Amino acid sequence: MSVSFRSERPNRLSPEAHRSLTEAAQRDPERYWLDEAARLSWVNAPTRAIDSEHGWFADGTLNASVNCLDRHLETRGEQVALIWQAEDASHVVHMTYRDLHAQVCRMANVLKAQGVGRGDRVAIHLPSVIEGIVSMLACARLGAIHVVLFGGFSAEAIADRLADSGAIVVITANVGRRGPKRIPFKATMDAALALRPDSLKVTRVFVVSVTDDQVPMQEDRDSFLSGLMDASSTECAAETMASNDPLFLLYTSGSTGKPKGVVHGTGGYLSWASYTHEIVFDHQENDVFWCTADIGWITGHSYVVYGPLSNGATILLFEGMPSSPAPGRWWEVLQTHKVTTFYTSPTAIRALMREGDDIPARYDLSTLRVLGTVGEPINHEAWAWFNDVIGQKRCALVDTWWQTESGGILISPVPGAVLEKPSSATLPLPGIQPVLLDEKGAPLEGPAEGVLCIDGAWPGRALTIWNDDALFQTTYLKPYPGHYFTGDGARRDEDGYYWITGRVDDVINVSGHRIGSAEIEDALSCEHAIAESAAIGIPHDLKGQGLVVYVVANETADPDVQKLAVSVIASKVGRYAVPEKVYVVPDLPKTRSGKTVRRLLRKIACGETNGFGDLSTLADPEIVPVLIKIVQGHG
């Protein structure tokens, strides 16, 4: 019997509804996901959900920008879709769905005039300005694949991603504002484009003028966007895309040094962003949804743009920083715009918590209903502060676990349905089947700790890695055959709740930013003065994890190796990946087969001096006391 869960479901799930959805999804996933697909507006509605060969909703066709804009015009054309709060408190823009639709069409027409069409890649490199969202949706409208590049990437990191994606057009800004500072977006992009022109396909650079700052423009390549948009039509027909046509690529870090362009499709991804935004954030009419993530990360894609806009929500985009010009800025923004739903990172909460309870106490936070965190585990103290001081003990608090590759949230409390336990991501969303495996890959039952994998399929899962499907297979599907490997470890308690314990691969999570050990080590290996290196993560009070790098110098006792390592990382990866500490050491602890023993490096960096276990498997156990001395001496 087919049941339409969607029509029967109240907006806020009860515990029983959550249970019955979970059971229904287990009983008949095909039916369940097909029903969920009905939340989207399709040109041709899919008749199939899961097809291991052809992907999600394989015979469905749709357009993502139509789902985020056009279909709302009749019912909510005059509703505010986007509130943009500038760095300057007096500068606010309210855009209705009709306004946003018009701007997206204008931008799409500008891109189209440049020859951008289905399947072309367009790189978006912008600060938190409206044009970021408009550009993403304009690409989606044309069937072009957007590649949003984080503003913190260095020129080299940008060049790598432009080359790998084969982007033909770039959208950037003259500068970004960061308090009184100016971030040189255009200059960084110019440097990236000059780095290896032969491997890049970019022929056109569109520039958003965020401020009056002048930047050099290269004639016949660079144009300011606003004049072109003003001269363009506010109508632009949307391309009809197949459900599994890529909607975007987003680069993330993994165990290999090379950046991975995670590919998300259209129908599966969008239905997942919409489903999870609705149930996890208990989405209601008149909500004002504020996700503080940058659009350069997956959280920005799914919960600034696609989830909330596909559900017809009002989103808030803030240009500035949490405590600029003074502590309390975020709370002021929250109060001014009557935010109901606030989604941010544990690192931000820890930093704000340090400013003291009296700062948020000055603001009216009574409109808040749901608070969320993402990107890293949230410690008890930060959870309690968020809950008590910001949520005033009356808000739902959702600790959402997911990743770039999952497209949207997988494990999280659901307001009204799942009781929270501080610092636990709690239970899988209906339709998600986590499994814990032991080191041999055998599933563990009941309360246990192991490697976190996901069984079965869900619509939001990435399609592949751009240009490298083999890497997709080896990273996610081959380590534990029959299961999707998340790269995380987790513990399951007696209530079936999940507690994420952190990465089990060589990925380091600094303030919610994923940094691959290999990414750092590869960058350093290009330097002649550096023979070898190892990057590891250690616990950090504010950032969750701090990055520590051990470097073996080629010329011993070169006093500048430390500085060199920092500058190489800043220029090859980006300033966000600059390590807390760099230790210059004579050698790394290795097994006899030459594998670096990171476990030891972590313990030593944490200040441990004994309890290292059996060192007899090391090629040179004598290196251990030497490393301890260097680390301790370094203070």
Binding residues for ligand PRX (CB under 6 A): 252, 298-299, 374-377, 399-404, 425, 486-488, 500, 503, 509, 514
Instruction: Kindly tell me which of 22 and 404 has the beta carbon lying closer to ligand PRX.
Output: 404
- C-alpha triplet 503, 509, 512: angle, nearest 5°: 125
Instruction: Kindly tell me which of 404 and 464 has the beta carbon lying closer to ligand PRX.
Output: 404
Query: Least separation, in Å, of the C-beta of 515 and ligand PRX?
Result: 10
Nearest to residue 598, comparing CAs of 540, 526, 498, 520? 520
Query: Least separation, in Å, of the C-beta of 542 and ligand PRX?
Result: 16
Rg for the chain, CA atoms, rounded: 24
The helix/strand/coil state of 437 is: strand
Q: 623 to each of 532, 551, 583, how far by Cα in Å?
A: 15, 14, 14
**Helix residue ranges, H only, 9-96:** 15-27, 29-37, 64-65, 71-76
* Cβ–Cβ < 8 Å for 467, 477: no
The helix/strand/coil state of 266 is: coil
- C-alpha triplet 19, 22, 27: angle, nearest 5°: 125
Query: Least separation, in Å, of the C-beta of 464 and ligand PRX?
Result: 16
| Cα separation, 615 vs 612, whole angstroms | 7
| Cα separation, 539 vs 556, whole angstroms | 30
| Cα separation, 300 vs 440, whole angstroms | 36
Query: Least separation, in Å, of the C-beta of 39 and ligand PRX?
Result: 21
Instruction: Kindly tell me which of 256 and 367 has the beta carbon lying closer to ligand PRX.
Output: 256
Query: Least separation, in Å, of the C-beta of 28 and ligand PRX?
Result: 29
Instruction: Kindly tell me which of 272 and 402 has the beta carbon lying closer to ligand PRX.
Output: 402
* Cβ–Cβ < 8 Å for 397, 413: yes
From the number of C-beta atoms within 10 Å of its C-beta (0-12, 13-18, 19+), residue 285 rates as exposed
| Cα separation, 224 vs 128, whole angstroms | 18
* Cβ–Cβ < 8 Å for 303, 412: no
Query: Least separation, in Å, of the C-beta of 375 and ligand PRX?
Result: 4
Amino acid at 633: G
Query: Least separation, in Å, of the C-beta of 24 and ligand PRX?
Result: 26
Instruction: Kindly tell me which of 31 and 503 has the beta carbon lying closer to ligand PRX.
Output: 503
Query: Least separation, in Å, of the C-beta of 629 and ligand PRX?
Result: 33
Instruction: Kindly tell me which of 328 and 537 has the beta carbon lying closer to ligand PRX.
Output: 537
Query: Least separation, in Å, of the C-beta of 47 and ligand PRX?
Result: 32
* Cβ–Cβ < 8 Å for 357, 397: no
Query: Least separation, in Å, of the C-beta of 398 and ligand PRX?
Result: 9
Instruction: Kindly tell me which of 298 and 584 has the beta carbon lying closer to ligand PRX.
Output: 298
Instruction: Kindly tell me which of 164 and 505 has the beta carbon lying closer to ligand PRX.
Output: 505
Token pair recorded at residue 426:
């709690």
Instruction: Kindly tell me which of 294 and 355 has the beta carbon lying closer to ligand PRX.
Output: 294
Q: Is the peptide bond before 259 cis (omega within 30 degrees of 0)?
A: no
Place of tokens 């959805």: 21
Number of separate helices (H) and strands (E) present in the chain: 22, 28
* Cβ–Cβ < 8 Å for 202, 167: yes
Instruction: Kindly tell me which of 124 and 582 has the beta carbon lying closer to ligand PRX.
Output: 124
Instruction: Kindly tell me which of 110 and 409 has the beta carbon lying closer to ligand PRX.
Output: 409
Backbone angles phi, psi at 2, to 5 degrees: -100, 135
Instruction: Kindly tell me which of 32 and 484 has the beta carbon lying closer to ligand PRX.
Output: 484
Query: Least separation, in Å, of the C-beta of 144 and ligand PRX?
Result: 23
Amino acid at 518: A
Instruction: Kindly tell me which of 259 and 312 has the beta carbon lying closer to ligand PRX.
Output: 259
Backbone angles phi, psi at 424, to 5 degrees: -110, 140
Query: Least separation, in Å, of the C-beta of 35 and ligand PRX?
Result: 26
- Classify 544 in phi/psi space as left (phi over 0), alpha (psi -120 to 50) or beta: left
| Cα separation, 486 vs 393, whole angstroms | 33
Query: Least separation, in Å, of the C-beta of 633 and ligand PRX?
Result: 33
